[in-house]
Amino acid sequence: NAGVTQTPKFQVLKTGQSMTLQCAQDMNHNSMYWYRQDPGMGLRLIYYSASEGTTDKGEVPNGYNVSRLNKREFSLRLESAAPSQTSVYFCASSARTGTYEQYFGPGTRLTVT
């Protein structure tokens, strides 16, 4: 039982390049989330998907797009990376949104130069 998996673990991009972060969960959860974590800022929600086929903006959605490919997979895309997007990105899932505990992946450390 892998829980929540993320790929890649590390990535270095040049400004303007694009990339997609992949996330998958095997817990049959309905809801999935993408967060970024910056020093001293805690976790900030980028986008979430309450259920398959729906996505909603979180606190910091600018510069990102998401796709809920199916119930298991939720990807995050940076179309034109900027140095301000240097961060650690975490994917999480939960049975449903809001009141339920969330399960986190190991994170992707992204550096944009």
Partner 1 sequence: SQQGEEDPQALSIQEGENATMNCSYKTSINNLQWYRQNSGRGLVHLILIRSNEREKHSGRLRVTLDTSKKSSSLLITASRAADTASYFCATARRTGANNLFFGTGTRLTVIP
Residue 15 vs 54, nearer CB to partner 1: 54
> How far is residue 56's CA from residue 3's CA, in Å, rounded to a whole number?
23
Closer residue to partner 1 in complex, CB, 28/39: 39
Q: How far apart, in whole angstroms, are the C-alpha atoms of residue 21 and residue 110?
A: 10
Contact residue for partner 1 among 24, 33, 66, 112 (CB under 8 A): 33
DSSP secondary structure of 10-74: EEEE-TT--EEEEEEE-S--SEEEEEEEETTTEEEEEEEESSTT--EE-S--TTEEEEE-SSSBE
Question: What letter does residue 97 receive in the DSSP assignment?
Answer: S
Size of the site for partner 1 (CB under 8 A): 25
Rounded-to-integer distance, Cα 79 and Cα 41, Å: 24
Q: Identify residues 46-85 at the interface with partner 1 (CB under 8 A).
A: 48, 50, 58-59
89 makes contact with partner 1 (CB under 8 A): no
Binds partner 1 (CB under 8 A): choice among 11, 19, 45, 65: 45
Q: Which stretch binds partner 1 (CB under 8 A): 16-24, 63-71, 73-81, 96-104?
A: 96-104
Binding site for partner 1 (CB under 8 A): 4, 33, 35, 40-45, 48, 50, 58-59, 90, 92, 97-99, 101-107
